[in-house]
Amino acid sequence: MLVAVAGTKDSPGVTTVAFGLACLWRARGPVLLVEADPDGGVLAARLGIPQEPGLATLAAAGRHEVSASLLASHAQAGAVAAALIVAPSAPSHARAALRAVADGLSRSIAGLVGTTVVIDLGRLDAESPSLPLAGVAGQILFLTRPTLEGADALAVRLAELEGVTDLRSKARIVTVGEGPYSGQELAQVLTVTHMGHLPIAGGAEALWSATDGAHIPRRPLLRALESLANRFERSELSEQSETPQPLRMGAPNRADPASDLGVRASHRRRHRAAPSPTGL
């Protein structure tokens, strides 16, 4: 499962949602959270962990090819035991790292098998150096306020992205806070599925100090994140059941991008033989 979370200029909480989903899904298996925010990272400071290893060291080490083992060696074990690739906090450094490694990193995460990947894209627009990462996500959750300003900001962003790639078809709406419109109304106007609603409420801080995803206090924001996580999982399952499975008559299984790449598969084997402390 590969999900990205993105915002526009008027949407709060992208990192909170990406981190919250990673914490909640950690209970089911390995999770990798990639902080790919061109405006600079906040996770290291919030979690009290160093900025390196992370996106900057990964960019320096693997500009073209990011093997699974290289990826694991630049991930840190996060507070809730999800593996984290944190971005440098300086926007110029974050952008430079993303420009260098987003292509290789996106191929690498698309080839991970059995790991849930959550990508924090920050504010996504058609010039973002994170576009390659958005391109490999199965679905992109766009946070928006259910206001005219929020709807307009998202409509403009989606129109821009339509011109660049097929990202629009992966876009889903998550409404945040109160406003005159319901999620369903926005969904109709923008022709994008509404995946859930988050209140503006206390409780986000509990995430940053959590040591165990299963025991984060279920205050309103966390309960809403849990509903969103469940809804998302159901939508992934229904998409999988609707997607025709590839024939296995000697042809490589395209559902597993690593299966026809001997090099990457051998990386995976090596990696499995020596699991990293990040649990990837």
Ligand X SMILES: Nc1ncnc2c1ncn2[C@@H]1O[C@H](COP(=O)(O)OP(=O)(O)O)[C@@H](O)[C@H]1O
Residues that bind ligand X (CB under 6 A): 7, 12-16, 42, 176, 198, 200-201, 204-205, 221
Sole residue written with tokens 């290289």: 70
Separation of alpha carbons 203 and 233, rounded Å? 23
Task: List the single partner that 151 binds among Mg ion, ligand X, none, CB under 5 to 8 Å by kind.
Answer: none
**Shortest separation between residue 55's beta carbon and Mg ion, angstroms:** 14
Task: List the single partner that 204 binds among ligand X, Mg ion, none, CB under 5 to 8 Å by kind.
Answer: ligand X
In this structure, the number of other CB atoms found within 10 A of the CB of residue 132 comes to 19
- The residue number whose beta carbon is nearest to ligand X equals 13
Which C-beta is closer to ligand X: that of 81 or that of 204? 204
Q: Is 124 in the site for Mg ion (CB under 5 A)?
A: no
**Shortest separation between residue 208's beta carbon and ligand X, angstroms:** 7
Which C-beta is closer to Mg ion: that of 17 or that of 80? 17
**Shortest separation between residue 221's beta carbon and ligand X, angstroms:** 5
**Shortest separation between residue 199's beta carbon and ligand X, angstroms:** 6
Q: What is the DSSP track for the chain?
A: -EEEEEE-TT---HHHHHHHHHHHHGGGS-EEEEE--TT---HHHHHT--S-SSHHHHHHH-SS---HHHHHHT-EE-TTS-EEEPPPSSHHHHHHHHHHHHHHHHHHHHT-SS-EEEEEEEE--TT-TTHHHHHH-SEEEEEE-SSHHHHHHHHHHHHHHHHHSSGGGGEEEEEES--SS-HHHHHHHHT-EEEEEE-S-TTHHHHHT-S-GGGS---HHHHHHHHHHHHHHHHHHHHHHHSPPPP-SSS--TTSTTTT-HHHHHHHHHHHHS--TT--
Site for Mg ion in 3-32 (CB under 5 A): 14-15
| Size, binding site for Mg ion by CB under 5 A | 2
In this structure, the number of other CB atoms found within 10 A of the CB of residue 68 comes to 25
Which C-beta is closer to ligand X: that of 7 or that of 146? 7
- The residue number whose beta carbon is nearest to Mg ion equals 15
Task: Give the HSE-up count for residue 56: Cα atoms under 13 Å, Cβ half-sphere.
Answer: 16
**Shortest separation between residue 86's beta carbon and Mg ion, angstroms:** 12
Task: List the single partner that 257 binds among Mg ion, ligand X, none, CB under 5 to 8 Å by kind.
Answer: none
Task: List the single partner that 22 binds among ligand X, Mg ion, none, CB under 5 to 8 Å by kind.
Answer: none
**Shortest separation between residue 16's beta carbon and ligand X, angstroms:** 3
**Shortest separation between residue 231's beta carbon and ligand X, angstroms:** 16
Which C-beta is closer to ligand X: that of 193 or that of 209? 209
Which C-beta is closer to Mg ion: that of 15 or that of 278? 15
Positions in the binding site for Mg ion (CB under 5 A) = 14-15
